[in-house]
C-alpha cells in the first residue's frame, strides 16, 4: 500500500512512501472507537481511513460501507465468543445455577468491561436511522444471547433445580439489566451519581438466582455469597 507522509528531516512536502498493509483488525478497532466517540451517523468512511492510517481507497478494498464495517465488528468480535459459550453450555454437566452465574459474569467481563460495551448504545441510538443494522445485531447477538440464557433456565426447571417460570421471560429479565448498565456507561454516567454501582453485578446475580433456585439451595447460595464477601 502507498501512503503519504511528511519527511521530518528534509522539511519537504508530503511524499508517497510504501508501508505495510493495515490489517482489517486495525480498521475495526479504529471504526469502533469512532462509532463510540462520534456516533455511527456522524462517522464517515474518510474518518475511519484516517484513524486507521490508510487511504480512503484502501479502506474500500476491505469494506464498501460503514454498515459493512459495523457488521464485521459483530462478526469478528462477538460471534466467536457466542460460539464458544454455546459449545460450553451444550456440554456443561454441573449445576444450572452455577452455569447461569457463569453466563452473567462472562457476559459482563467480555462485553461490559471491554470496548464492545459501546455497541448496545450505538445500536439503540441508531436503530431508527439504520434499521438493517438493528435487525442484524438483534438476530446475531441479542437473540443468540437470550437463547443461551433461556436454555440454561429451562434445563434448570426441567431438572427440578429451578422454580417454574416462563424461561423466555426470565432470560429477558436476566439480560436486560446488563444491557441497560452498558448503555448507561456510554450515555448518562458522566452526569449521574455512580454510588451503589460497585455491587451491581453481584446483586443482580443474587436476585436472579434467589428467585429461581428452589429452597433450601437458595439459602445456601446466599450464605456462600456472604462468606465470599465479608
d(CA 223, CA 221): 5
For residue 172, is pLDDT > 50? yes
Q: What is the mean pLDDT of the chain?
A: 87
Higher per-residue pLDDT: 187 or 218: 187
Q: What residues have CB less than 8 Å from 210, skipping those under 6 apart? A: 218, 221, 222
Q: Please, are residues 70 and 133 in contact by the beta-carbon 8 Å criterion?
A: yes
Mean pLDDT for 118-138 is: 96
Task: Write out the residue limits of the CATH 1.10.10.60 domain(s) in the chain.
Answer: 18-62
For 10-47, how does the pLDDT look when each residue is reduced to its tens digit (9 = 90+)? 444 444 343 455 589 999 999 999 999 999 999 999 99
pLDDT at residue 13, as a whole number = 45
Domain with CATH 1.10.357 in the chain: 71-228
Q: What mean pLDDT do residues 147-168 have? A: 97
18-62 CATH: 1.10.10.60
List pLDDT tens digits, range 49-87.
999 999 999 999 999 999 999 999 999 999 999 999 999
The span from the CA of 49 to the CA of 187, in Å, is 26
- Residue 223, helix vs strand vs coil: helix
CATH fold, domain 71-228, is Tetracycline Repressor; domain 2 (1.10.357)
Q: Could you write out the DSSP letters of every residue in 152-185?
A: HHHHHHHHTSB----HHHHHHHHHHHHHHHHHHH
Amino acid at each position: 500500500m502507498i501512503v503519504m507522509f511528511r519527511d521530518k528531516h528534509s522539511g519537504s512536502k508530503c511524499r508517497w512512501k510504501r508501508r505495510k498493509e493495515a490489517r482489517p483488525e486495525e480498521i475495526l478497532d479504529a471504526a469502533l472507537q469512532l462509532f463510540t466517540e462520534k456516533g455511527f451517523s456522524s462517522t464517515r468512511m474518510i474518518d475511519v481511513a484516517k484513524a486507521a492510517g490508510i487511504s480512503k481507497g484502501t479502506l474500500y478494498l476491505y469494506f464498501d460501507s460503514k454498515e459493512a464495517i459495523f457488521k464485521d465488528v459483530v462478526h469478528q468480535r462477538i460471534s466467536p465468543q457466542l460460539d464458544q459459550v454455546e459449545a460450553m453450555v451444550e456440554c456443561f454437566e454441573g449445576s444450572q445455577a452455577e452455569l447461569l452465574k457463569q453466563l452473567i459474569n462472562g457476559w459482563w467481563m467480555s462485553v461490559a468491561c471491554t470496548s464492545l460495551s459501546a455497541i448496545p448504545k450505538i445500536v439503540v441510538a441508531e436503530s431508527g436511522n439504520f434499521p438493517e443494522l438493528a435487525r442484524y445485531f438483534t438476530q446475531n447477538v441479542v437473540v443468540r444471547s437470550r437463547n443461551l440464557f433461556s436454555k440454561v433456565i429451562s434445563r434448570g426447571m426441567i431438572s427440578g433445580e429451578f422454580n417454574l417460570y416462563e424461561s423466555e421471560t426470565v432470560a429477558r429479565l436476566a439480560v436486560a439489566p446488563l444491557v441497560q448498565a452498558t448503555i448507561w456507561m456510554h450515555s448518562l454516567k458522566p452526569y449521574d451519581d455512580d454510588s451503589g454501582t460497585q455491587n451491581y453485578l453481584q446483586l443482580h446475580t443474587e436476585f436472579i438466582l434467589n428467585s429461581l433456585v428452589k429452597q433450601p439451595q437458595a439459602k445456601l447460595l446466599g450464605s456462600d455469597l456472604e462468606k465470599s464477601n465479608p
